[in-house]
């Protein structure tokens, strides 16, 4: 299974989806940690573990995650230019990481 997938909509926009199940659950955990609970009360009602400082809290979170059905999250709807800009930024970051690791950096986006 891929971490991301990109799909073209009928209006010509590009939709970036987060596919991998654990990544989707991690995303939800991050949102819950960073957004005021007032706005996430409906979600919190069934998965409201406030912290993971104890083994039981961690086990409770694992049980909640295990019950969550698989899903994907549309994380961006982009124009062609925005999609190409994202691709270019990803390539630049990979090139930088390769340079730091002493690997070849021959990568380019052909538009």
Segments making up each domain of the chain, as ranges: 4-78, 80-111
Helix ranges (DSSP H) in the chain: 21-34, 41-47, 55-67, 80-100
Which carries the bigger pLDDT value, residue 40 or residue 108?
Answer: 108
Helix (H) or strand (E) run with residue 64 in it: helix 55-67
Out of 4-13, 16-25, 56-65, 84-93, least confident range: 56-65
- To the question of pTM greater than 0.85 for the whole model, the response is no
22 to 67, 82, 94, 97: CA distances (angstroms): 13, 26, 23, 25
Does pLDDT of 58 surpass 50?
yes
Distance CA 17, CA 4 (A): 6
| Residue (of 90, 66, 62) closest to 4 by Cα position | 90
Tokens standing for 89? 């930024």
Q: Phi-psi category of 48—alpha, beta or left, where left has phi over 0 and alpha has psi -120 to 50?
A: beta
Report the pLDDT averaged over residues 85-109.
84
């Amino acid at each position: 299974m891929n971490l991301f997938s990109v799909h073209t909509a009928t209006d010509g926009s590009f939709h970036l989806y987060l596919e991998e199940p654990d990544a989707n659950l991690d995303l939800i955990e991050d949102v819950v940690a960073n957004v005021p609970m007032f706005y996430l009360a409906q979600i919190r009602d069934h998965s409201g573990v406030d912290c993971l400082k104890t083994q039981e809290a961690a086990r409770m979170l694992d049980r909640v995650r295990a019950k969550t059905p698989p899903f994907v999250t549309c994380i961006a709807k982009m124009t062609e230019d925005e999609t190409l800009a994202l691709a270019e930024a990803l390539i630049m970051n990979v090139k930088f990481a390769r340079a730091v690791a002493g690997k070849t950096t021959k990568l380019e986006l052909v538009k």
